[in-house]
């Protein structure tokens, strides 16, 4: 059972088309398909070939209502704040980021992130997909000594230790892997990352 997780497309149709060529059982768009919520209608038809297996979350560039309408229009699953069971694993998703300097549409306070993550606290074994990376890790490093991730996300991972964690948001960390305790984590970026549950 293969899950493809990707993030931060930002309107790059060519990158999205490459992702849709990858065969998987489930597809998770972990936020920022568009820029400032604009241009989603150009991306919907590309994703539509995988519509029945497409799970979409808002990043900080989309609001939850943007993504809800997008999913309703194209037949995707709105995965913001939701979870499902796949091969015995609980796969959960939370979009939005912690506050940024840019006042983008999809931002939560750290307290709001913590409250929304808490609903996943009893899920085990857990595969957690967030737009925001955990603060102070390789997954949120934007430059030397620059970390812009979420403390709430890091706290949840440290306390609950999901099996796997996937995020985006910080473009400079795309493709990077890190471990937090026993949790293996990836910043997936626009190239995406496949999780083959059968391999574990």
Distance, CA of 86 to CA of 128 (rounded, Å): 13
Domain 2-199 bears CATH identifier 3.40.50.10950: no
Q: Is the pTM of this model over 0.95?
A: yes
* Across 33-52, average pLDDT: 97
Per-residue tokens: 20: 């849709």
DSSP string, 139-177: GGEEETTEE--BHHHHHHHHHH--SEEEE-S-GGGTT-E
The helix, strand and coil proportions of the chain, stated in percent and rounded to the nearest 5, come to: 30, 30, 40
Q: Which of 109-113, 118-122, 149-153, 196-200 has the lowest mean pLDDT?
A: 196-200
pLDDT at 43: 98
Task: Give yes or no for a cis peptide into 125 (omega within 30° of 0).
Answer: yes
pLDDT at 143: 87
Q: Taking a C-beta distance cutoff of 8 angstroms, is the pair 164, 157 a contact? A: no
Beta strand residue intervals within the chain, DSSP E = 2-6, 26-29, 54-56, 77-78, 82-86, 89-94, 126-130, 141-143, 146-147, 164-167, 177-180, 183-187, 193-196
């Amino acid at each position: 059972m293969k899950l493809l997780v990707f993030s931060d497309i930002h309107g790059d149709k060519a990158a999205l088309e490459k992702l849709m060529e990858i065969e998987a059982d489930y597809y998770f768009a972990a936020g920022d398909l568009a820029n400032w919520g604009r241009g989603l209608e150009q991306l919907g038809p590309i994703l539509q070939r995988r519509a029945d297996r497409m799970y979409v979350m808002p990043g900080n560039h989309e609001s939850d209502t943007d993504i809800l309408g997008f999913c309703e229009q194209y037949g995707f699953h709105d995965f913001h704040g939701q979870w499902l069971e796949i091969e015995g694993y609980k796969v959960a998703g939370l979009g939005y980021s912690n506050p940024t300097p840019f006042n983008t549409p999809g931002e939560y306070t750290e307290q709001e992130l913590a409250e929304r993550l808490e609903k996943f606290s009893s899920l085990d074994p857990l595969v957690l997909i967030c737009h925001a990376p955990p603060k102070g890790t390789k997954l949120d490093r934007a430059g030397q000594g620059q970390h812009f991730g979420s403390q709430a996300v890091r706290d949840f991972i440290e306390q609950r230790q999901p099996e796997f964690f996937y995020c985006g948001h910080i473009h400079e960390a795309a493709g990077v892997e890190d471990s937090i305790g026993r949790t293996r984590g990836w910043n997936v970026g626009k190239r995406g990352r496949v999780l083959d549950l059968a391999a574990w």
